[in-house]
Amino acid sequence: MLLTNFYNWFNRNKLRAVHELDYPQEISGIRLRFKRRRNDWQPHLNQTKKIILQGVEYCTQRRKAVLIGAALLHDIPLEELASQFREVLLIDVYHPFWSFLKNRRFRNVFRINFDITEYIDLLVKSNVEESLPLVPLSKLYLEDPEIDLVVSVNVLSQLPCMPIRFLEKNQPRTEQELDQLAKDLILAHLSYLDLFSCQVVLITDIEMQTINVMNNVVARKDLMYGINIFEDKVSSLSHSATAEFDRIPTNRTDYQEWEWRLAPCPEVNSKFSYFRKVVGFTDWKKYRLKSSA
Ligand SMILES: C[S@@+](CC[C@H](N)C(=O)[O-])C[C@H]1O[C@@H](n2cnc3c(N)ncnc32)[C@H](O)[C@@H]1O
């Protein structure tokens, strides 16, 4: 609890960056779209919750669970987590007031305001005359030996969005610079997840699909900016950990894939629907070991 207050106090100074990058408005937009599209979103939200709970089954201890990108709580099985873990730590760059209303009945659930890229503050202080600041590696909770579960919940593809929008509006940068920044933000988050020794669950959308009225996919956008999260080699996992790999049941290193009907026609456009391809890994670290073996 003390630590939670510390993080929130420390991050008060970064509130300016959060507002300058329009996160509160973005979150409010997601909430409004969810209200309009609740039925279309439900299979995706249920699937996300299922993957998180499958990950929980592999936790040998249940002291602290960390959920990154949790603000709106649509896709978080909060009740189950709160009853199984001693503490549930919800991390988001911005927590809207209404999420407080949802979690106030759980005394062991804490909301922590934190930019998991640790970048947006550097960005608003940057200057167009200089090159972009380098993306750091987050250290949040890496030193806490009581963390037994880390879940990255539909946040990975979002990490570059607001920084890039901010740059497009405020600092002319080349397309190459923007692409490189997006890649660096995504890779830094994957490397951060690699550094935990506990159970790690990763759920992320990886592709945006444009679908016409005949139900054909007419365009695809790679939300991972060319990073192949299925195959890119592990960088920071210790080599000795691979010895453990043989004893892991196969299904534990698999992933599941599904569709998120984000904006069916005419939500955004009268001719096209916009869907997302989502993947969920119940045991992301073991999957990384397997793909690098
Ligand atoms: C698509 S939403 C995830 C779904 C959300 N859990 C829900 O219930 O609808 C992405 C979330 O990631 C958060 N986010 C984006 N960039 C972030 C960052 N740099 N640090 C922490 N959270 C971030 C957003 O504020 C947002 O709440």
Atom 24 (ligand 1) nearest CA: 69
Which pLDDT score, from 0 to 100, does residue 289 have? 83
Which pLDDT score, from 0 to 100, does residue 234 have? 42
| Cα 273 to Cα 212: distance, rounded to the nearest angstrom | 7
| Cα 289 to Cα 128: distance, rounded to the nearest angstrom | 40
Which pLDDT score, from 0 to 100, does residue 11 have? 60
Regarding the beta carbon of 77 and ligand 1, being less than 6 Å apart is answered no
User: 2-292 belongs to which CATH class?
Assistant: alpha beta
Domain boundaries defined on the chain = 2-292
Kindly report the pTM of this predicted structure: 0.90
CA of 117, closest atom in ligand 1: 19
Summarize pLDDT for 224-283 with one digit per residue, the tens: 999 999 875 444 333 344 444 444 455 666 899 999 999 999 999 999 999 999 999 999
| Cα 75 to Cα 53: distance, rounded to the nearest angstrom | 11
Residues whose CB falls within 8 Å of the CB of residue 257, separated by 6 or more in sequence, listed in order = 277, 278, 279, 280
Beta-strand relationship, 147-153 and 199-211: parallel
What's the 158 CA to ligand 1 centre distance in angstroms?
A: 7
CA of 70, closest atom in ligand 1: 6
> What pLDDT tens digit does each residue of the chain (293 aa) get?
555 655 565 565 568 899 999 999 999 999 999 999 999 999 999 999 999 999 999 999 999 999 999 989 999 999 999 999 999 999 999 999 888 888 888 999 999 999 999 999 999 999 988 999 999 999 999 999 999 999 999 999 999 999 999 999 999 899 999 999 999 999 999 999 999 999 999 999 999 999 999 999 999 999 999 999 987 544 433 334 444 444 445 566 689 999 999 999 999 999 999 999 999 999 999 998 877 66
Burial of 139 (0-12, 13-18, 19+ CB in 10 A): exposed
| Cα 291 to Cα 283: distance, rounded to the nearest angstrom | 12
* Cis preceding linkage at 96, omega within 30: no
Which pLDDT score, from 0 to 100, does residue 12 have? 57
Report how far apart the first and last C-alpha atoms of the chain are (Å, whole number): 40
By most ligand atoms within 8 Å of CB, the mutation choice from 37, 93, 140 for ligand 1 is 93
Which pLDDT score, from 0 to 100, does residue 101 have? 81
Regarding the beta carbon of 121 and ligand 1, being less than 6 Å apart is answered no
